[in-house]
Amino acid sequence: MAYVTKTFEVTEPVKVNFYLAEKLNLPFSVVARLIDKGRVLMDGEVIIKKAVPIAGKLEVMYHEPTPSGLEPIFGTKDFAVFNKPSGMLVHQNGFHVESSLVDDIKHLYGHLANLVHRIDRETSGLVIASKNKKAEKQLKNLFVEKDIEKNYLALVEGNLKKERLIDAPILIGMNNNRHPEDPTPRVLSEINKDGAKSRTFVTPIEYYEELDITLVNAYPITGRTHQIRIHLSHIGHRILGDPFYGVDVQVANDYLDGKMMDVESRVERTGAKRVMLHAWNLKFSHKAKFYIENDGGFFNEEFLKRNLEKF
């Protein structure tokens, strides 16, 4: 969502929270957060008291949804499921104006609608959005209690011959302040005995002998950042297109520095145009039992050709 600033000339004293809720069609709770964050000013001064009548030049900076037009593939009165394309952010990136999945959600269902979980920008697939605060709390709790099962499809290097449980602790860390001449990659998530307990169950689906790649199903029993990508790289079957895990340090740093933007270079150095990971099914109960599935084209040879450029 883009941040926008709107200005109003208030000639008669008004309660700012009521005024903005009406003018911007925002819930009172959203207006209250804007005031608490110092994003509402009267005559250049930050407003502190929400319900004190005042008049003058009123300025407010808030998120205005800029939808992409993405529609849900399934929905109830409480939630909707979207099939997020690879490359789309789930949340806006700070004050960045790039459209995100949240823009589409709030455009369709209002400012109290929200995501209840996330997937990476380059990962495609199923994402659940709540339509109200009560449903948001209930659905997020399902994730906390591990009452939602998520499965992913991944295209990996080599021949993964049998199913296996990957039980390896992951230590999450970032090193974004490295010196330009320091070759240490800035993404430091790794298998480490001091990391958090992490488990992924992977099952081979199909082996493409001419390419020496395997389509696998990955079920993350735990939910660490980049868990599937790290675990598959750890067992010698890195995900095609991954610019961080299973590649040399220079590839990772070039990607982070924006030096690997052209398709030819990306395919040559990582194996695909994008990270070949897709959240393809969800199993959970929320007033009823739901099984939602979308394979994202990962079983389709044309899809592989478009993304690998060498099928």
Give the catalytic positions in this structure: 120
User: Can you state the percent helix, strand and coil of the chain, rounding each to 5?
Assistant: 25, 35, 45
- For the record, the structure tokens of 98 come out as 């790039």
Q: Which of 204, 222, 200, 221 is nearest to 213 (CA)?
A: 204
User: Rounded CA gap, 35 and 29, in Å?
Assistant: 10
CA-CA distance, 63 to 12, in Å (whole number)? 26
To the nearest 10°, the Cα dihedral for 103, 105, 110, 111?
A: -60
Where residue 69 falls (left for φ over 0; alpha for ψ -120 to 50; beta otherwise) is: left
CB atoms near residue 237 (< 10 Å): 23
Q: Which two tokens stand for residue 225?
A: 């950042």
Distance (Å) of CA 108 to CA 24, 82, 138, 292? 16, 12, 20, 20
The full length of the chain comes to 311
150 vs 200: CA distance, rounded Å: 11
218 neighbors 232 (Cβ within 8 angstroms) = yes
Give the Cα separation of 77 and 212 in Å (integer): 45
* Cβ atoms of residues 126 and 90 within 8 Å: no
Local structure of 154: helix, strand or coil: strand
Instruction: Give the containing element (helix H, strand E) for 231.
Output: helix 227-234
Structure tokens at 24: 């911007």
Whether the CB-CB separation of 28 and 17 falls below 8 Å is answered with yes
